[in-house]
Amino acid sequence: MGNQSSKINIQNKKKQDAVIKPSTSISTNIGSIASSRRSSITEFFAKRKQSIASIMKREEDIKEHDREQRQHYLLKNVRKGNTRTLLDSPKRIVESGIGNGIWVLEMATQYPDAQVIGLDLKLPDIQLSNQTFYRANIIETWPIEPDSVDFLFQRNMVTCLQKDHWIHVFSEMFRVLKPGGSLELIEQDLLHHNPGPVLQALHAFYKEQFDQTKIDWELSTLRDALSQIGFIDIELITIDIPIGEWPTESDQKQFGFMNKDIQKAFLKNKKNEYMQRWSMSSMDYDVAVGEVCDEFEEYQSFTRVNCWMAKKPVY
Ligand SMILES: C[S@@+](CC[C@H](N)C(=O)[O-])C[C@H]1O[C@@H](n2cnc3c(N)ncnc32)[C@H](O)[C@@H]1O
């Protein structure tokens, strides 16, 4: 695998944990702060779940939102934060395509002085005071003034956009960013690396489907389109996340465990759609998913995460 930036020095952390022991009164205090914070977060997600259920009727869509949440935490852990770009007191932050809204929620909490805006076709009905959701189709004009955004984030949107939509999306991003503002785009390779034979067979189905729906599954347009629009300082960083517990190194093994769970959940959530699309019986589909999960370990498969960073020039 390529980038190893996600490693943590566990030995040093253990030493620190052994030295710092809070006194009973401090730990009781921390306990009550943690429990009130926990109950407000729990309450938020309980309401969030109701709000998702009100806009999503299908059980598999709700499960997909849960899977996206786990994926968010895996990516946050691997990347050691919600952004790679260093943000200096941002006033306005935008995410395009918010999914379950977790990134917007976390950024609004991390930057209480910033206004955090989420754009999506489907909106949740919950708001924090510094968080706003706009119902918007990002392949049309965005409801945001020009030159007004410090930081723009978009993640896992490649399957929602056709190849020829990217230029428009980037030109809207360019329009709304302040001169000097930054952009971060995260897309995972849609085909996993080191596939076994059954996964290769699924990949052939995927490619056919992506070609039919005009999806840029090779992510080939992204870099060229960014520079064509006028972005500068374009940088691409890739991080490889194992699928399965095959790595020997302990934190990679943990990431692999989580990633395999996420990939398995994806295949389960897509069962009805893929069975129909690929004319497979329920049993054949389940057998294929079981085989794919075994292959992840046997062939040491991994997911490649691509992160593009770019800036709008200061004129
Ligand atoms: C695959 S989810 C990704 C969500 C989130 N970015 C994440 O990383 O978890 C795609 C989201 O984009 C939204 N979406 C799809 N097409 C869109 C469009 N043309 N304009 C705005 N939102 C769109 C969907 O409603 C969904 O919430």
Domain count across the chain: 1
Q: For the chain, how are helix, strand and coil distributed in percent, rounded to 5?
A: 50, 20, 30
99 Cβ inside 6 Å of ligand 1 = yes
| Contact between residue 123 and residue 155 where contact means Cβ atoms under 8 Å apart | no
Please list the pLDDT of the chain residue by residue as tens digits (315 residues): 544 433 323 333 333 333 333 344 444 454 555 555 555 555 555 655 555 555 555 677 888 888 999 999 999 999 999 999 999 999 999 999 998 889 999 999 999 999 999 999 988 766 678 999 999 999 999 999 999 999 999 999 999 999 999 999 999 999 999 999 999 999 999 999 999 999 999 999 899 999 999 999 999 888 789 999 999 999 999 999 999 999 999 999 999 999 999 999 999 999 998 899 888 899 999 999 999 999 999 999 999 999 999 999 997
Q: Of all protein residues, whose CA lies closest to atom 5 belonging to ligand 1?
A: 99
156 Cβ inside 6 Å of ligand 1 = yes
Q: Of all protein residues, whose CA lies closest to atom 14 belonging to ligand 1?
A: 97
**Distance of alpha carbon 68 from its chain centroid, rounded?**
7
Cα(79) to centroid(ligand 1), Å: 21
Site to substitute for ligand 1 among 64, 98, 159, 163, most atoms within 8 A of C-beta:
98
Q: Is residue 268 part of a domain?
A: yes
Read off the pTM. Answer: 0.83
Q: Is residue 210 part of a domain?
A: yes
pLDDT of residue 53: 56
Q: Is residue 10 part of a domain?
A: no
Q: Is residue 1 part of a domain?
A: no
Site to substitute for ligand 1 among 121, 122, 168, most atoms within 8 A of C-beta:
121
Site to substitute for ligand 1 among 58, 153, 157, most atoms within 8 A of C-beta:
157
| Contact between residue 98 and residue 156 where contact means Cβ atoms under 8 Å apart | no
User: Cα(190)–Cα(288) distance, rounded to whole angstroms?
Assistant: 18
Task: Read off the CATH number of the domain in which 213 is found.
Answer: 3.40.50.150
Q: Is residue 5 part of a domain?
A: no
User: Cα(169)–Cα(122) distance, rounded to whole angstroms?
Assistant: 18
| Contact between residue 255 and residue 78 where contact means Cβ atoms under 8 Å apart | yes
pLDDT of residue 26: 41
Q: Is residue 265 part of a domain?
A: yes
| Structural domain boundaries enclosing 256 | 58-312
Structure tokens at 262: 């996420």
Q: Is residue 16 part of a domain?
A: no
